Every structure is written in structure tokens, then in C-alpha cells.
Structure 1
Amino acid sequence: MCIKIITDSACDLPKDIIEKLDIELMPILVYVDEQEYKDTVNINPKFLYENMKKGSSTKTAQLSIPDLKEVFSKYAKAKQSCIYIAFSSGLSGTYQTSLLVKQEILEKYPDFDLDIIDTKCASLGFGLVVYKAAQLAKEGKSKQEILEVLDFYCNHMEHIFTVDDLEYLFRGGRVSRASAVIGSMLNIKPILNVEDGKLVPLEKVRGKKKLLKRMVEIIGERGVDLDKQLIGICHADDEPNAIKIKELLKEKYNCNSFLINLMGCTIGAHSGPGTMSIYFLNEKSPY
């Protein structure tokens, strides 16, 4: 029996990959003007971004205990060996909650074989980790083999991203009101990264043209064997610039393998429309 890969909707993987690799996807709760939705179930990114542009308030909540119990219990009863690959613990409480739920499930099903992984990754960076694990599971690799690869990917996944409007990061408590106002007035765009699972600012650039160019330069400075790996590009309703970055990466680093997707509601609710992100490994993969 293949190892079952379980994850949550912050991974931003395309639906066809989720279905093809039989990944169990748990929806994170998203709120638009206090109305509750389940990400990927009854809300889509287009709806979210249209409402954010109109001024709607948005927020998210971690996976609920009942939802985690339901999924874990289903596989415990089936005696299915599982790996739950979780959204970064530095950005969500889902990982910690899943550990508590696991202990409760083990009281009833002591033989349940479940490993829980804190990716310390987000969005499609998180998604690339899940994608690799699911591919290996589909190939029939052992749990130990999959866990070794997961450890490498979680520790070497780079996240280079920017937001179009600092107001959304202010609402989420990521920047100060002064930074958001001044940034908007001066057309200053931040370049950020995720380090040890948390949001970290790298640089500030003035103007979109310079911003994209500098992001591509940073990818070259941090990436290794870019022409031999799958590059993830995720955008919040800005496909033209996602394609532009793809072409720049092809031209500058001979990259030829890309996974481009629309940023989902879990991440988009905090970063806002116009967010652009690129994901890649900073060390040569032995796998």
C-alpha cells in the first residue's frame, strides 16, 4: 500500500496535480467580511481578489480540530500509513494543532502510522515540497525514503516574493502603518523571503520594472542548478508578470521546467492581489 500524503490548502498546488497524485487536501478557513468559507471548496481566488480590491476585510483561521480528527481517523481506521505535510509553523498554528490531534487519535488507534512534517514553507514553495513527496509515494517509495527527501526540500526551499500593496501586509501585522503609507506614496516594493518558516524582508526596490529585474538577480544569487530544477511561480491575479518572470528566468539561467499557478485564498488573504512569488532550491538535490 502506497504512503498517503495529506496536506492543507496553503500549498497552492494546481487541482490537476492534487487529483492526479491522490493527495488529501484539507481546506483552511477563509473569512471575507466575516463570512466563513473553506479554501478550494466554496471560495476561489478570483472572488477573493475582486472583493479585496473593493475593500473587503479578509482573514484566515487554522485547520479546525474536528476537521483534522475526521481525516486522521479515516486513515487510522483503514490502517493506512500517512505523512501529513503542514504549512509553516512560523505562519500558522495548524502544525501544532495537528500534533495534539495525532496524540488523541493514537489513544484510540495506537498503531496508526502518521508522521507530521513542519515544512517551514508557504504557498507554492510548500507546494513543491508536497509535490515531490506525492510523486515518490506514487512511485511506491518507502516512508523513510520520502521523509529523507522531505527533510532536504524543507531545508533548501527558497521563497522570493513581493506584494503590490503594503496595505495588506499592514492589515496582517507584517509591516507598520507608516511603512505601508510611505511605501505606497513612493511606489516602493518590498522583496521578502521566508526563513526558518517566518517572513523576512530582504530589500526594497522602487518601481515594478526594477523590482522584477532585481528578483531575478536574487534568484541567480541564491539558486543552484536552476536549469535542472522545477521552478515554482505563484501570482495573485497577475499572470502577465508571472509569464514575464518565466521568460526572464529562461533567458538568464536557461530554466526550462516551471510550475505556474494562481495564488490561493489562504495566502492571498494576507498578501493581497498583485503578489508575485518564485520558489526554487538553494542546493543541488541529491534526489
Structure 2
Amino acid sequence: MIGLICESATDTPFEVLEKDYVRWVSLRVILGEKEYRDVLEISQLEVLKFMETDIPKTSLPNYKDTYDAFEDLIKKGYEEIFAVTISSGISGTYNLFENIALEMRKKYSVKIKIIDSKNISIGAGVIVYRISELIDMGKDFEYIQNEMEKIVGEKTNVFFLVPTLKYLKANGRIGKVSASIGTFLNIKPIISVNKEGMYFDVAKSRGMKRSVEKLLEVFQKWVGNKKINAVGIYKSGNSDQTNEYVQQVIDEINKMNPNKVFVGDISSVALVHTGDGLVGIAAILY
């Protein structure tokens, strides 16, 4: 049997997380002196409230929580396991998973493959979804591993925009995004993740309204004439304006006839780095 593990920053859709063979590990959100497990103990609303006066921080998943997730699957008879993390260029979770996988291989007779998604949020989540889809189709471990080698960095991508780069800068996650973009000009970068798993800006536009249109343009150009296996449309915050932008994106994406559409909110961990008002699209292509 094949098991599957992911972490909260992948923003994996709940319909995947509910499967018997899937385990999920929370990263941690730090608000001042207090620490919370992402999603389980903290909400977007609480993080946004804290961000009105201070800058929150994030931390890796708890070691024991992660260890227990692997061991729980193994003790339930899963001798082959895939685990997916957000980009190792942005987070240390990949290294944590690799270290625990090494311990598990020594302790038990198991196959474990840690997949560095080279992606972020639902960009990693659609990879988790695709693995679960292949498991449900009865594909074996080697087949799925080969498919992931073809997909990661080639057939997956994420594009998002945020009203301000303040939080990406404050948390050291700015990557190759031009941090000098003038806020007084109201210029918003469309941000993606390169093949090294680092943030970079692929386009720029002025104002959120035009930037949402540019976001769709960039995404549609990337897809071209290929078919979409799964697409995620995610946001942060719940303002009327953000919801309007998201609906605009949903309407346009549906015209592209994707096989599967996920709509949701990014995790609190992702919110720490982006702030309120994020609008993002990620997809995995056939």
C-alpha cells in the first residue's frame, strides 16, 4: 500500500486530506511570544489581526508531529510513502522530512520518496492531489515516482499577486522579486517560482484591478493549448474586493475547461509571508 504525507503550507484541498492513506503535518505560526500549529490552532483572522501592529513569523513543523505522521502510516501497513513539501528554496521542511525519512528507512523496511515541489501553497497542493489521483487509479510506486519527475518544475506552476511586498521582505522570502518596485506608483508584481524554487516576478502592472487581468494573462500564456489536470484559485483575507477578484479569476479559468478546480484560502503560514489580499492561481497540466 502507498501512503502520502504533506505539510500545511501546501494548502492541499480537504478532499485529499480526508483520504485514509494521507497524513498532514502543521507548520508553526509565531505571534510575539506565542506559537501555534498552522490551521489547527490559529486562523487567518487571528493572524491578520496581529499583522495590524506587528510582523508574525513561521517555523518548521514540530519534529515529533512529523515523525509520528510517518510512523503512523508505517504501523498501519503502508510500506511505500510519498511526502510532498513546499519548495526547499523557501522552507526547511524538505530537509526535515528527508532526515525523518532516513530514520524510518533504518528502523523499518519501507520505501520513502520526499518530493520537493519547487512550488508554494496550492502549487504544491495540486502535486499532492495528482499523487492521490494516481494512487486511487492503482498505479504503483515506481510509476508515480516517474510521473513526478516529469511533472515537478515542468507541468506545475503558481502565479500570485499581493497588495504589498512588505511581508515577503520582512520574512526574508523575497527571492528574486524586485523589492525596489515603487509602492508610490501602485505597481504590483505577478510572482511565480522558478526552477530553483525561488520567488521571482514574471510581470508587473499598476493597481490590483489591472494586475488581476495581467495575472490571468500570464497564466493563460503559460497553459497555452495544454489541458489542465487541476487548478487551484486561492486567496488571503475576505474583503469584498478580494472576493470579487477571485470570482473574476474563477469565471475566466472555467472557460479553459480544467478537469478539476479547487477554490480556497491560503494557510496562516502562507499568510504570514504575503499579507491580506493575495490572489493566486496554480495548476498542474497533463
Using structure 1 for the length normalisation, give the TM-score.
0.87
Q: Shift of the alpha carbon at 1:206?
A: 0.9
For 1:27, the equivalent position in structure 2 comes to: 26
Whole-angstrom CA distance in 2 between matches of 1:85 and 1:246: 26
Considering only aligned residues, what root-mean-square deviation do their CA atoms show, in Å?
Answer: 2.3
Name the structure 1 match of 2:128: 130
1:241 CA displacement: 1.2
Q: Number of aligned pairs?
A: 277
Q: Which residue of 1 aligns with 2:57?
A: 59
1:205 and 2:205 are equivalent in the alignment? yes
What secondary structure, in the 3-state scheme, does the structure 2 residue paired with 1:229 have? Answer: strand
How far does the alpha carbon of each residue in 1:116-159 deviate from its partner, in whole angstroms, 9 at most, with x for none? 11111110010000011112213332111222222233122111
Mind listing any 5+ residue stretches in structure 1 that lack a counterpart? none
User: Residues 191, 94 of structure 1: CA spacing in aligned structure 2 closer, same or farther, 3 A cutoff?
Assistant: same
Structure 1 CA distance, aligned partners of 2:264 and 2:103? 36
What's the % identity of the aligned pairs? 27
| Alpha-carbon distance change, 18 to 79 in structure 1, aligned in 2, over 3 angstroms | closer
Contact conserved, 2:157 with 2:282, CA < 8 A, in 1? yes
* 1:181 Cα offset (Å): 8.1
1:60/1:186 CA distance change after superposition, 3 Å: same
Partner of 1:166: 165
Distance between the aligned counterparts of 2:21 and 2:243, measured in 1? Answer: 27
Structure 2 equivalent of residue 103 of structure 1? 102
Higher helix residue share: 1
Q: Do 2:105 and 2:112's aligned partners in 1 also have CA atoms closer than 8 Å? A: no
1:67 alignment partner AA: D
- 1:32-51 matches, cutoff 5 A: 32-51=31-50
Q: Distance in 1 between matches of 2:259 and 2:81?
A: 32
Report if aligned partners of 2:24, 2:69 keep a CA contact under 8 Å in 1.
Answer: no
Q: Which runs of 5+ in 2 are unaligned?
A: none
Q: Map of 1:58-207 to 2, 5 A cutoff?
A: 58-80=56-78, 81-109=80-108, 111-155=109-153, 156-175=155-174, 183-196=182-195, 197-207=197-207
Distance in structure 2 (CA, Å) of the matches to 1:214 and 1:150: 29
CA contact (8 A) 1:13 1:261 kept: no
What is the letter of the counterpart of residue 92 of structure 1?
A: S
- Judged with a 3 Å threshold, the aligned counterparts in structure 2 of structure 1 residues 135 and 210 are, in CA distance, closer, same or farther, namely same
Pick aligned residue for 1:241 from 237, 245, 266? 245
CA, structure 1 residues 141+227, in 2 after alignment: closer, same or farther (shift >3 Å)? closer
Is the contact between residue 21 and residue 73 of structure 2 (CA under 8 Å) also seen in structure 1? Answer: no
Contact map agreement 1:226 1:255 (CA 8 A) in 2: no
Cα distance in 1 for partners of 2:37, 2:18 equals 18
2:161–2:191 CA contact under 8 A, matched in 1: yes
Task: State the match for 2:268 in structure 1.
Answer: 265
